[in-house]
Structure 1
Amino acid sequence: MNTTFSVSHDEQRLRRVLKFLIRRRLKWARFVGVALVVLGAAALAVESLPVPTSGFFIVTGVLFALLLEPCSVAQSMRAQNLATREGYVMTLEETHVAVNAHSYSRRFSWSILDQVVDTPDAWYPMFGKMQAQAVYKDLLTEEQRAEFAAFLARRRSAQPIA
């Protein structure tokens, strides 16, 4: 496999990658948010806590469940280095994935790949918990997508089961 393609900068794509990574780290926040809303509502129903305290639990729960993720994505967008706002050329080879831009280059060996998350619009090879390199399906030809999917399937079948 030797596939090379260009990825132009797209604010929405960058936002989707950040949302993908943040959502993985904030799964607990939704659970805590829902639990706080339920706790606050139950306390209101049985009048076991003062109304301001129950209201605090409900408001805090809603903030955790609904607003923590979008606020984190917005903060991450603002914190991105200017280098993330330029296009790059990605090369997928049997031994590694390489990303080359004007101001930086990265190279990840497939041997350190933790997992690949397949979504409708991209594959996300994960090189650690918070390091992903998006491989956008719409930028690949049908043959390239099939070749990369077959490559990933071979890698998964070759990995030992823990």
Structure 2
Amino acid sequence: MNISLSVSYNEQRLRRVIKFLVRRQFKWIRIIGLLALVGGVAGLVTGYFSSATATALLFLGVVLGLVMEPYSVAQSMRMQARVAQEGYVLTLDDTDFAVNAHSYSWRYSWSMLDRVVDTPGAWYLMFNKIQAQAVFKDLMGEEERAEFADFLARRESARPA
């Protein structure tokens, strides 16, 4: 396998990668927000809580369940270094994968990966829980997607359990 992709900067793609990474981190926060929302509604309906407490729970539920994740994504987008707005060339071969841009480059062996997450729009090469390299499927031809998917399947079946 020898696939080379030219990845130009795209704000929507960067936002999608950040959303993918923070979604897992915010799972419990969303659950707590949902519980606070349900508690606030139940408290208002049953009169179990004072209206101030129920309103505070409703507010907390909305903030934790609906606002925190998009706010964190927006903050992450604003905090990105200028080099994140550079295009790069992603090279995938049988031994490693590499990113080469004008002001930086790096290369990793496939053995450095923790796992690969396959989504409809991209494969995320996960180094740990919060670091990933996205391989966008729309930048590949049908043959390259099939070749890469086959490589990942063979790699996964060869990994020790």
TM range (shorter): over 0.9
Paired position in structure 1 for 2:112 = 112
The 1-side partners of 2:14 and 2:45 are apart by: 44
Measured against aligned partners, the alpha-carbon deviations of 1:16-56 in whole angstroms (never above 9, x if no partner) come to: 00111011211111101100011112222222221011100
SS across alignment from 2:132: coil
Measured against aligned partners, the alpha-carbon deviations of 1:109-140 in whole angstroms (never above 9, x if no partner) come to: 21021111111111111011111100011111
Paired position in structure 1 for 2:64 = 64
Paired position in structure 1 for 2:97 = 97
Identity of aligned residues (%): 58
SS across alignment from 2:99: strand
Gaps of at least 5 residues in structure 1 are: none
The 2-side partners of 1:119 and 1:108 are apart by: 22
The 2-side partners of 1:123 and 1:30 are apart by: 25
Gaps of at least 5 residues in structure 2 are: none
Paired position in structure 2 for 1:148 = 148
Paired position in structure 1 for 2:122 = 122
Higher mean C-alpha displacement, 100-109 vs 67-76: 100-109
2:48 matches 1:39:
no
SS across alignment from 2:3: strand
The 2-side partners of 1:93 and 1:74 are apart by: 34
Paired position in structure 2 for 1:82 = 82
- Return the TM-score normalized by structure 1: 0.96
- Return the TM-score normalized by structure 2: 0.96
Measured against aligned partners, the alpha-carbon deviations of 1:46-102 in whole angstroms (never above 9, x if no partner) come to: 222210111000111011111111100000000000000010000001121100101
